[in-house]
Amino acid sequence: MNRNLDNTDRFLLINQLLLDYPLQLAHIIPILAVPLQIIDNEDLEFSTVEKWRNFVDQGLDDDDVSWSLGDKVKNQATWDFNRLAPRTAQIAVTWSEKANLVANALYTIEGESIPLTVEINQEQAPHDFLDPSKIWENRRTVTINDNTITVPLSNNANENVIANAIGIVPVQLQIIDDGDSEFRTVGNWTNFEGQGFQNDVLYSPPGSGNNKAIWEFNGLVPGIYQIAATWTENVNRATNASYTIEGGAIPLTVEINQEQAPNDFSDPSGTWENLGTITITGNTITVSLSDDANDYVIADATRVMSVNVPQLISIEQPDDVSLLRSEFISLLFGQSELPSLLPSQVISNFSDTRYDDIFSLSRIDKLKIVMEYEIESNIYHFIPKTPNNNVVLYHQGHGGDFYLGKEKIKNLLDHGYSVVGLSMPLTDFNNQPIVQLPGQGQLKLTSHNQMGLLSPEYGHPVKYFLEPVVGALNYLENHYDYPSFSMMGLSGGGWTTTLAAAIDTRIDKSFPVAGSYPLYLRDETDWGDYEQHVREIYNTANYLELYILGSYGVNRKQLQITNQYDPCCFSGTRWESYKDIVRERVNQLGSGEYDLFMDSTSRNHMISPTAMDRILTELNPSIIQIIDNGDSGFSTVGNWTHFRGQGFDDDVDYRDPGNGSNQAIWNFSGLVPGIYQIAATWTENINRATNAPYTIEGGVIPLEVEINQEQAPNDFSDQWGTW
């Protein structure tokens, strides 16, 4: 992977920019596409009339082109496409540009009811999109009905004419304006000229929803599509214009403030607002706009564009991981290695009475990281009474002090994990310094959105979110013998976890919760703070690539957790568009693991008990539950006799043979879905049953097994006994 791009690679990167960072792009964007069918000038489907000559070492695959002198003689080159499937498609052309070629080469597209003639300037290079073989120019969108398209090229020109290759391209981008045939209205709408896409719009006063504007996109191929709209803003517009997108699994309805201008991204046709992203299995997307609003609604143009997720990922081999991580670190920190900063202050046995009721806590050490501009991060190192020699970094995110995550910290301490508690910069547990900005004066930093105003001596302002993590890891590495580091975080802490794991391979296991989606999946509800969408950051490594960087490596794994019903951000099932693709890409790299878990048990923006159980299981895959006959998870039905002096924890319950009405029951709860091994222990004796019937419930059907308790258990042994 070479990020020092040549001209061809720039087409790929700019297209990635459009899909994964659709902000502030005001230049022509090449659309990456793959033609369905290509006819080159050497193919059987290509033919010429009169005088055409071949010229080698240029054209498609650097092979050859056909050319003809420009004159009034009817020399003609023709490409015949047959056996095409009915669909909407684009006709794309490629050629090798030269100064002595014609500026108005006449191509005619035949196959629809009326032939279309288009002019192409062959003095200039094609520039619309790149496929693996050549750069192409899109000329027309056509509807294929009778399986055939014919494209003749005339030499009726005043310069030389080149005939190279033509391709039929599946439509990846469609725009429907309010004047197009695919647009219709229900009820009363008024046309207004002089503004909007193609200089006109329709409008409707607020109503009850009976008036609707409808855009219908046909001829699409199944896949993922981003839908966007444009309009002309005004103070008399609705702040809750209701668009509904149909074609996916369920309709998607979004409310848009038309008092404000669309501002998510620009392309050659205008400036657009993202409405959402859906996955379709059919061939149609329908967008409707209702007048059920609090002021005038404007119906102008809408746009759909397919999203090819695999092509957004530049990582194809292990070396790409190292190169991209190095480039990302250099951008963030202005150097090739992670910073070596350490806490400027460490207070051992720090007293914070808020944690006194955690009985598994031995002590707290307080660390202070001081960064440029005197931005501080206060960190707690929680040390358990019974350590398991592992540590988990817990990041609370935007919510404030990591005390808000006390129950999660307690849970980890109860399991023997040391915990490092962190919060976002500028939150109430950290400081809010007053900084001097050149030419601007003094500013008190209170919001993440102000970070972009800072000019670090080295690196990028986003580093202030990550330096506390790196500094804490440096300290732990220097003073403790932890064999590995894990990290988890909620919301902005989940975002921090994603980036920290991407840059720092010391983090083996990472669990970002409700922290991010790739930018192509976001709408205004979860666009996020400044750090979530900084253009230069995600142009270097987009979110899909960050997930891979955080997952790749020996014994490394990232489990991304989303909340299906999260009222804040990154909810729903939009992750379906990338989960398997990212996981498979990590598998192909041959080291590490990526997975995603959607938590449907909570309707809050939180790390739920279900998610916490899943994290604990991932931290220690061999974690087990043991219920002894004296524990709260154990109960009996009928008459059982207690006997001390033998068995697990030195006691057992026993029962004479009977008719099955007496039962002993072990109830395991708080498990996460998955595969479990169930084992038992007992004390053997010749007076024991040879057919003790255990029943295991919780799977699809109950499982019954008979055990010979005359013999000792002997399948395996662990620190607690033999099973």
In a domain, 496, yes or no: yes
Query: Does 24 fall in a domain?
Result: no
- Reported as a single tens digit per residue, the pLDDT across 540-587 is 999 999 999 999 999 999 999 999 999 999 988 778 889 989 999 999
Tell me: do 255 and 294 sit in the same domain.
yes
The pLDDT of residue 677: 81
Burial of residue 308 (number of CB atoms within 10 Å: 0-12, 13-18, 19+): middle
What pLDDT does 88 receive? 66
Same domain, 116 and 223: no
Structure confidence at residue 504 as a pLDDT band (50, 70, 90): very high
- How high does pLDDT run on average in the chain? 86
When mean pLDDT is compared over 78-92, 306-320, 383-397, the highest value belongs to 383-397
Distance, first Cα to last Cα, the chain: 52
pLDDT of residue 63: 64
Q: Helix 492-503 to helix 463-479 angle, to the nearest 10 degrees?
A: 60
Q: Mark whether 351 and 433 lie in a shared domain.
A: yes
Q: Is the per-residue pLDDT at 15 higher than 50?
A: no
3-state secondary structure of 547: helix
Q: Is residue 405 part of a domain?
A: yes
As a whole number of angstroms, the distance between CA 92 and CA 187 comes to: 39
Chain segment 359-372, per-residue pLDDT in tens = 999 999 999 999 99
Radius of gyration of the CA atoms of the chain, in A: 32
Q: Which of 247, 255, 253, 231 is nearest to 286 (CA)?
A: 247
Among 25-29, 271-275, 620-624, 637-641, the range with the most confident prediction by mean pLDDT is 637-641
In terms of DSSP bridges, do strands 46-49 and 76-81 run parallel, antiparallel, or are they unpaired?
antiparallel
Q: Which of the listed residues 170, 199, 219 is the one where a domain comes to its end?
A: 170
Q: Are residues 52 and 88 in the same domain?
A: yes
16-20, 45-49, 112-116: range with highest mean pLDDT: 45-49
What is the C-alpha to C-alpha distance for residues 299 and 212, in angstroms, rounded to an integer? 9
The domain in which residue 57 lies consists of 33-170
Total count of domains within the chain? 4
Give the 3-state secondary structure of residue 36: coil
Give the CATH number of the domain where residue 602 resides.
3.40.50.1820
Residues 411, 489, single domain; the answer is yes
* Whether 230 and 356 share a structural domain: no
Amino acid at position 298, single letter: I
The residue among 588, 619, 650 that closes a domain is: 619
Do 383 and 453 lie in one domain? The reply is yes
What is the pLDDT confidence band of residue 33, given thresholds at 50, 70 and 90?
Answer: very low
pLDDT at 448 over 90: no
Going 171 to 136 to 585 to 557, the CA torsion angle's sign is negative
Which pair of structure tokens corresponds to residue 252? Answer: 């998607």
**Residue at 392 is within a domain:** yes
For residues 171 and 141, what is the distance between their CA atoms, to the nearest angstrom? 8
The answer to whether residue 377 sits within a structural domain is: yes
Specify if 10 maps to a domain: no
Residue at 8 is within a domain:
no
Torsion from C-alpha of 679, 683, 684, 686, nearest 10 degrees = -140
CA distance 326 to 489: 24
Average pLDDT (626-638) is 86
pLDDT at 24 (0 to 100): 28
504 shares a domain with 387: yes
Domain shared by 140 and 203, yes or no: no
Residues 334 and 241 in one domain: no
Q: Are 432 and 511 contained in the same domain?
A: yes
- Final residue in a domain of this structure, among 108, 139, 170: 170
Flag whether pLDDT at 32 surpasses 50: no
pLDDT score of 457 more than 60: yes
124 neighbors 134 (Cβ within 8 angstroms): no
Question: Residue 7 has what pLDDT?
Answer: 29
Q: Let me know whether 475 and 577 are in one domain.
A: yes
Residue 9 lies in a domain: no
Confidence band for 282, pLDDT divided at 50, 70 and 90 = confident
What is the C-alpha to C-alpha distance for residues 469 and 550, in angstroms, rounded to an integer? 14
* 175 SS3 class: strand
Query: Is the Cβ–Cβ distance between 488 and 510 less than 8 Å?
Result: yes
Band of residue 130 on the pLDDT scale cut at 50, 70, 90: low
Indicate which CATH number applies to the domain containing 206.
2.60.120.260
Q: What is the mean pLDDT of residues 175-189?
A: 92
